[in-house]
Amino acid sequence: MKIAVLDDFQNVSRQIADWSGLPANCALTVFNDHVADEDKLVERLQSFDIVCVMRERTPLPKRVIDRLPDLKLIVSTGHRNASIDVAAANARGVTVCNTNTPGRATAELAMALLLALFRKLPAQMEEMRKGGWQAELGRDLGGATLGILGLGRLGTQVAKHANSFGMEVIAWSQNLTAERAAEAGARLVAKEQLFRTADAVTVHLKLSERTIGIVGAEEIALMKPDACLVNTSRAPIVDYDALVAALREERLAGAALDVFDIEPLPADSPLRGVPNLLLTPHIGYSTRDTYAVFYPETVEAVLAFLSGKPIRVVEP
């Protein structure tokens, strides 16, 4: 029985989880690199019976699943993984299951990025490295207005964090009600008003057909020139070309991105050279505490499957 662990970028899966309980007839292979090409991915996984994926780093669509004849189990970390075709897997007799997640790390990163933008930390740190002192003038979070797009589980956490900093929190999404916003510590406003009045906008919408490009050139143009935008959700929700244009033309003070159309972000990506754009390598959920749930529960799922015990099956 061959088991693959994919995209262990930090090479920590063997340290964080105890794989020693695997039966003697099991062989574990951990891959620390990412394979984006589907043909190369199929070649890599051709002989594996169990594939363990980290969130949505490696998609497993039907065209990949159908080419893996030995595949019997897919274990995905987190509550949902839209990049796995569960129906196609089930049709092939492949079981798909998932793990729990603490679910707080991304909200904390969003606040960290807001702080970095407001206090201009990248420029301050670079000035210190060069031997300088106090390169730029930052601003307070307290008293500023935070606009949250999407007030679900993560957006609500961000609202609570922002409240603790003394920020005024406004929010919008297609189905958000005033009552629900108030429960989360925010005030419901129209979409246009959110972009016009917020000192910072942070995105926490789920990716769907109706949210793709929902933050476009028109919305970015509404923002104040000293405002900033943070996206720790999914890249297609924001028009990055429009965002880059606004930053280059100094129509926006700054932005922070943790998610990208292509991941890992290519070394020659134009995004890497944009002024006042803070980039992090999709580390929203990537913390020691989150992995302490992800990887041990991945092992539990594999062992349960091998022993015929019940597991957390993902429905199509």
CA distance 309 to 73: 13
- For residue 229, the SS3 value is strand
Q: Distance between CA atoms of 305 and 50, rounded to whole angstroms? A: 10
Give Cβ neighbours of residue 99 (< 8 Å, ≥ 6 apart): 75, 76, 77, 78, 293, 294, 297, 298, 301, 312
Residue 279: both structure tokens together: 């980039």
Alpha helix (H) ranges present in 138-283? 153-164, 178-183, 191-197, 217-222, 240-248
**Which are the catalytic amino acids?**
234, 263, 282
* Residues counted in the chain: 316
- For residues 195 and 225, give the distance between their C-alpha atoms in angstroms, rounded to a whole number: 11
Integer Cα distance of 272 and 279 in angstroms = 8
Phi, psi (degrees; rounded to nearest 5) at 172:
-155, 140
> Nearest-CA neighbor of 96 among 308, 309, 307, 302?
302
CB 231 within 8 A of CB 279: no
How far, in Å, CA of 97 to CA of 302, rounded?
A: 9
DSSP letters spanning 48-75: -SEEEE-TTSS-B-HHHHTT-TT--EEE
Is 71:93 a contact under the CB 8 Å cutoff?
Answer: no
